Amino acid sequence: MKETVILDRKFREMIPGEIIGKKIDEMAEKLNHDYAGKDVVFLGILNGAFLFAAELFKRINLKARISFVKLASYEGTKSSGSVKELIGWNEDISGMHVVVLEDIVDTGHTLELIIGELKVRKVADIRIATLLFKPKAYTKTIPLDYIGFEIPNDFVVGFGLDYDGYGRNLPSVYTLVK
């Protein structure tokens, strides 16, 4: 069992990098098939999705672009706490086929916000590709079109995902040892 320590926590390897690579091969193959002949924009959600997006995108043989947006928190004017906003839109994606790339879908709040923003931008259609999915944590009904791995409702790091900013460089996905 491969284990690693990040800051004050111990993590155990859950999905080895080679298995992730094979899964991304399969996902890319499906996308290449499903979007054949179409103009596609991949939209990676920073920071976590950068590695998955890069690995997936280099396996795509479509006429495709890639862009990244980031979710930023700021304090709202009301006492209700922090509000989240998507920043980094720098291209016109109206009329395009968009594939949102996520590292993980947990509650689905992030995804809901992104989908809302995309609808305003009048894209042709939207599909979601996520490396990891926690079905037990999901509170939304938005369908996920391409899922790498369904995982238990436990905290994970690696392959882009972080614990307090660290662990994104791990080539495998690790789960918290409780």
Tell me which residues are annotated as active site. Answer: 106
The residue with tokens 């086929």 is 97
Beta strands in the chain (DSSP E): 3-6, 9-15, 39-46, 63-75, 82-87, 97-105, 125-133, 146-150, 156-157, 173-176
- By DSSP bridging, strand 82-87 and strand 63-75 are antiparallel
Q: How far is the CB of 132 from ligand IMP (least distance, A)?
A: 8
Q: How far is CA 163 from the centre of its chain?
A: 16
43: partner contacted, choices Mg ion, ligand IMP, none (Cβ within 5-8 A by kind)? none
CA 132/CA 104 separation, integer angstroms: 4
For residues 83 and 73, the answer to whether their CB atoms sit within 8 Å is yes
Nearer to Mg ion, 71 or 124 (CB): 71
User: By the 8 A CB rule, do 116 and 69 touch?
Assistant: no
Strand 146-150 relative to strand 125-133: parallel, antiparallel, unpaired? parallel
Helix (H, G, I), strand (E, B) or coil at 150: strand
Least CB distance to ligand IMP at residue 94 (A): 25
Q: What is the DSSP letter of 20?
A: H
What is the contact mask toward Mg ion in residues 87 to 126, using x (rule: CB under 5 A)?
Answer: ----------------x-----------------------
Does 106 participate in binding ligand IMP (rule CB under 6 A)? yes
Q: How far is the CB of 22 from ligand IMP (least distance, A)?
A: 22
Judged by CB under 6 A, which of 14, 27, 100, 104 binds ligand IMP? Answer: 104
x/- site string to Mg ion, residues 23 to 62, per CB under 5 A? -------------------------x--------------
CB nearer to ligand IMP: give 28 or 173.
Answer: 173
For the window 31-50, what string marks contact with ligand IMP as x by the rule CB under 6 A? -----------------x--
Residues engaged in binding ligand IMP (CB under 6 A)? 48, 102-111, 155-157, 161
Residues engaged in binding Mg ion (CB under 5 A)? 48, 103
